Amino acid sequence: MNLGEQFGPYRIESVLGRGGMGTVYLATHARLQRRVALKVIAPALADDPDFRTRFLRESRLAASLDHPHVIPIYDADEVDGVLYLAMRYVDGPSLQALISEGALTPGDTLRVTEQIGGALDAAHAADLIHRDLKPANILVSEADGHAYLCDFGLAKRTSSRAMTQAGSFLGTVDYCSPEQIRGEPLDGRADIYSLGCVVFHCLSGRPPYALDSEIAVLQAHLNDPPPTLSPELDGVFGRAMAKDREDRYPTAAALASDLRQAIAEGAPATVRAQALPATREHSTQVAPRARRRWPWIVAAAVLVALAAGSAAIWATRDSGDDASLAPFVDRVENMLTQSAAGRREIAAALSDANKCKTSNAAAAERIDSVATNRQSILQQLGSMTAPTPATDRMLTLLQRGLQNSIEADRHYGAGLRSSASCPAPKNPNFTLAAASDRAATTAKELFVARFDPLATSLHRRAWSAGEF
């Protein structure tokens, strides 16, 4: 395909990368003028009727996932028999490119695990299995280290006996579960195994079974014990990469929770990554590129303090003035007020259910109603035009915080509906809610660190992350 060529509704601009699945292009939708990462599937795969059917079905299922760490899919179709997938273009490297430069720190690894783990749990709740989780399928925005999971369900099984008697995935075998290798039916725990392999690679700088041949790697996945790294972390790897899926973590959130505890108990540090330059994040790039590593928020309190000292100046640069900023601040504060009222109502519903003042079902209904209203606030944010690049960044952080918060609301409602007992027993939905709440708090803290100095400079009120 030539640069400048029209492919269906897309104009090809450049090649981002090539691999076994096909070629990824930077392209622009001609009518919408939206830049996308366009994955054009290799003809050898597209000619397989089973692959074609599953590609279209599962790409559309993945497109229905609404999660901040699942790469948004805009379109999945074919042009003259050629399959393609149009995704958000992310201006940043893949995780594979990052770890090729060396191991990550425990803090960086934990952040990736929590973000991608949340995406996996959301997919599993929708009965969708990734099946090819690996660092190359995790993209990281240079702007803020936001991780995205891409390529759901695109792995193809092959009957090549040179690989294994039961067949294997096309591509790397470094992260596939024993049941994948044996050709057994899969569930979400296959992805949990792969996530454990990815975590090990992030912390150690190498795949869990770095052997001379793919046959040897496959045999190790089937027969060798999980690899070891340090006494604090080995229990996490032992459970995540258990040969029997019944012995693995039930959710990625549970894996991330144990990893957080292991790191807190003194897991050894690894080589610190260099920071990436700040760029805009509205995007999806798939090909690994030689980039510097992103700036994780290792010391959030320090970052918030620094941001608070300079955010007012930062927010008004690029010709922003009181005439344009004041209406922006007023509109945002109106939305924050609405969201804060909803948050109080959800807290009251959870409290009433916990104290048996109302039934779990009634409390869940209250939460769902509020979550729907907060979703409308999110939609209003999406329609806003920011007066400066800096305020546009504020909107992005606020949207991310509210999206995660609404996701937590939905999980709380589902958790309450799962039992009529009072109080409702702990269940996976509450674990997912807590993880979403943590992600929401991180984004909200970054938002208020930028927004509050601007608001107070215009004699408006300041906010805390816990209010809205």
Give the whole-angstrom CA distance, residue 18 versus residue 14: 12
Annotated active-site positions, please? 132
Residues 196/241, Cβ–Cβ less than 8 Å: yes
- Within 64-128, residue ranges assigned H as helices are 95-99, 106-125
Triad 441, 292, 211: Cα angle to 5° = 100
- Within 224-359, residue ranges assigned H as helices are 231-240, 252-264, 300-315, 322-354
Give the whole-angstrom CA distance, residue 358 versus residue 351: 9
Residues 128/118, Cβ–Cβ less than 8 Å: no
Sheet holding 22-29, edge to edge: 6-7, 10-19, 22-29, 34-41, 82-88, 73-79
SS3 13: strand
Backbone angles phi, psi at 354, to 5 degrees: -65, -30
Give the whole-angstrom CA distance, residue 364 versus residue 161: 52
